Amino acid sequence: MYDIIVVGAGPAGLTAAIYARRAEKSVLVIEKSTFGGQVTYSPQIENYPGFISMSGNEFADKMVEQAINLGAEIEMQTVEAVETDGDIKKVITDGGEFTAKAVIIAVGVRHRQTGLQNENSLVGKGISYCATCDGAFYRNRTVAVLGGGNSALQEAVLLSALCKKVYVIQNLDFLTGETKLINKVNEKENIEIITGTILDGITGSDALDYITLKNVETGETSNLSVDGLFVAIGLVPDNERFSGVAKLNDGGYFDSNESCLTATPGIYAAGDCRDKKVRQIATAVSDGAVAALAACSYIDNSL
Ligand SMILES: Cc1cc2nc3c(=O)[nH]c(=O)nc-3n(C[C@H](O)[C@H](O)[C@H](O)COP(=O)(O)OP(=O)(O)OC[C@H]3O[C@@H](n4cnc5c(N)ncnc54)[C@H](O)[C@@H]3O)c2cc1C
């Protein structure tokens, strides 16, 4: 049995592992896909104190290395459920079952989908949710980015260095990203911003042929031929599988207190997956530290 199992190896989960190891607790981190979490999608991080500029992958590698060097164990599995058996917590994965005295759930959020027909069948064949991961496949081609917030604009800037033409499609009449990023987008000659427009259709069978756009005001539709569509319309929680041990709010995020404690003693929620106003690396690592220290105190004083 481990002292602490951390579910998810993003900034929150890895910080929790680092703090728990420094308190000499045995720690297992279980990650389903990418060690480092969402930051690995970020081409450039410029708002994390102490680092003027670094790539998301560079940051992720450093966090993983630090956690492993301190003695955290890691497993690449998907956690399917967390259950309690008295004071013992069971973590059930697609590969087996682990037990711990405390569990920190740090599963982040996932990309919001358009919900349109053909979206799922064309993922990897023209539809992507990550320019850092897939942008190189569209070198010298024409792509569209759906969304007008920070993530969408970051994607557009990155793609503009690779692609012939990048359309940014935004439902509102204005972009909602940071001014600095909007200025950067406006400086790129191969980026064209289409505002007041929604995505109305995705067409293609083996590959993406074209997307259909609809003007919000006039209702007029038009087809735009693109090789790739990068969907960047926000993130949603994926916490349902943990709802048996941790209460969710109406939006599906974990309800947790100042110590990141959920409704169940010994089960904590950290990072983007919990109810909070600001979802950034700085707030995720803060949660990770708080949750780990609260879990250590729970193990030392309550069990
Ligand atoms: C494109 C992009 C750019 C960004 N740029 C910045 C930036 O410049 N500055 C900044 O501060 N923030 C930025 N962010 C936000 C930042 O990345 C997040 O706030 C931060 O990563 C949240 O950390 P987290 O650990 O809570 O969650 P995540 O990073 O989402 O990590 C959660 C981890 O849990 C894993 N997981 C999920 N479910 C399971 C399961 N059932 N079993 C096992 N593992 C599971 C996931 O695979 C993931 O690795 C950016 C985000 C994106 C998408």
Residue 303's pLDDT is what? 79
Whether 93 lines ligand 1, by a CB cut-off of 6 Å, is no
pLDDT category at 124 given cuts 50, 70, 90 is: confident
Q: Which residues are catalytic?
A: 130, 133-134
**Percent with pLDDT over 90 in the chain:** 91
Is the predicted pLDDT of residue 66 greater than 90, yes or no?
Answer: yes
Assess contact for 83 and 92: CB atoms under 8 A: yes
Single residue among 203, 231, 259 that ends a domain in this structure? 231
| b/e per residue 275-286 (b: at least 16 CB within 10 A) | bbeebebebbbb
Which atom of ligand 1 is least distant from the CA of 35? 49
Q: Are residues 270 and 216 in the same domain?
A: no
- How far does residue 43's CA lie from ligand 1's centre (Å)? 14
Rounded distance between C-alpha atoms, residue 280 and residue 39, angstroms? 9
pTM above 0.75? yes
Single residue among 184, 216, 231 that ends a domain in this structure? 231
Domain count, the chain: 2
Single residue among 231, 252, 284 that ends a domain in this structure? 231
Orientation angle between helical segments 281-302 and 11-22, nearest 10 degrees: 40
Q: Which domain holds residue 126?
A: 120-231
Whether 132 lines ligand 1, by a CB cut-off of 6 Å, is no
Assess contact for 137 and 228: CB atoms under 8 A: yes
Q: Which residue has the tokens 């987008």?
A: 185
Q: Which residue has the tokens 């969408």?
A: 152
- How far does residue 30's CA lie from ligand 1's centre (Å)? 14
The overall longest dimension of the chain from CA atoms, in Å, is: 65
Residue 45's pLDDT is what? 86
Rounded distance between C-alpha atoms, residue 94 and residue 117, angstroms? 29
The 10s digit of each residue's pLDDT in 210-226 is 999 999 999 999 999 99
Which atom of ligand 1 is least distant from the CA of 44? 8
Q: Which residues contact 211 (CB under 8 A, 6 or more apart)?
A: 144, 199, 201, 202, 203, 223, 224, 226, 229
Residue 42's pLDDT is what? 80
- How far does residue 39's CA lie from ligand 1's centre (Å)? 6
Q: Are residues 226 and 131 in the same domain?
A: yes
Q: Are residues 72 and 96 in the same domain?
A: yes
Is the predicted pLDDT of residue 43 greater than 80, yes or no?
Answer: no
Which atom of ligand 1 is least distant from the CA of 132? 1
Whether 6 lines ligand 1, by a CB cut-off of 6 Å, is no
